[in-house]
């Protein structure tokens, strides 16, 4: 069975500082990896995903994540955060091939302070 571990439940950071949100997964078969973002009282929005190919994937708002197969990790990074990045971030894994369930981590709350 697949599982996802987000190593930090909360990450406080000052505006314009870099940030890394950590995600490790376990699976014996090939998977797709996702990061979703959730703003208060809203649904989840897809931030970025890794399916295959280049191990570094980027989002349109400056986040990036790197798939590391040997360490079974998919950490999310941003070199300079903004107040508007304050939200909860979820890492998720899905068996490759389609029509499979997304398994979510417990989430990391990113709090950006001025």
Instruction: Calculate Rg over the CA atoms of the chain.
Output: 14
Q: How far is the CB of 10 from other proteins (least distance, A)?
A: 10
Among 54, 70, 99, 114, binds other proteins (CB under 8 A): 99
Cα separation of 36 and 49, whole Å?
9
Q: How far is the CB of 9 from other proteins (least distance, A)?
A: 7
Cα separation of 72 and 68, whole Å?
6
Considering only residues 46-75, where is the footprint of other proteins by CB under 8 A? 46, 49, 51
Please write down the HEC assignment for all residues of 2-18. Answer: CEEEECCCEEEEECCCC
Residues that bind other proteins (CB under 8 A): 6, 9, 32, 34, 36, 41-46, 49, 51, 90, 94, 96, 98-99, 101-102, 104-107
């Amino acid at each position: 069975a697949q599982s996802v571990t987000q190593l930090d439940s909360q990450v406080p950071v000052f505006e314009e500082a870099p940030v890394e949100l950590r995600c490790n997964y376990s699976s014996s078969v090939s998977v797709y990896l996702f990061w979703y973002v959730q703003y208060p009282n809203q649904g989840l929005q897809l931030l970025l995903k890794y399916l295959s190919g280049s191990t570094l994937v980027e989002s349109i708002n400056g986040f990036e994540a790197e798939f590391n197969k040997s360490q079974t990790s998919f950490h999310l990074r941003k070199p300079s955060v903004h107040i508007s990045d304050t939200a909860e971030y979820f890492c998720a894994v899905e068996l490759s091939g389609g029509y499979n369930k997304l398994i979510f981590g417990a989430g990391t709350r990113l709090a950006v302070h001025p």
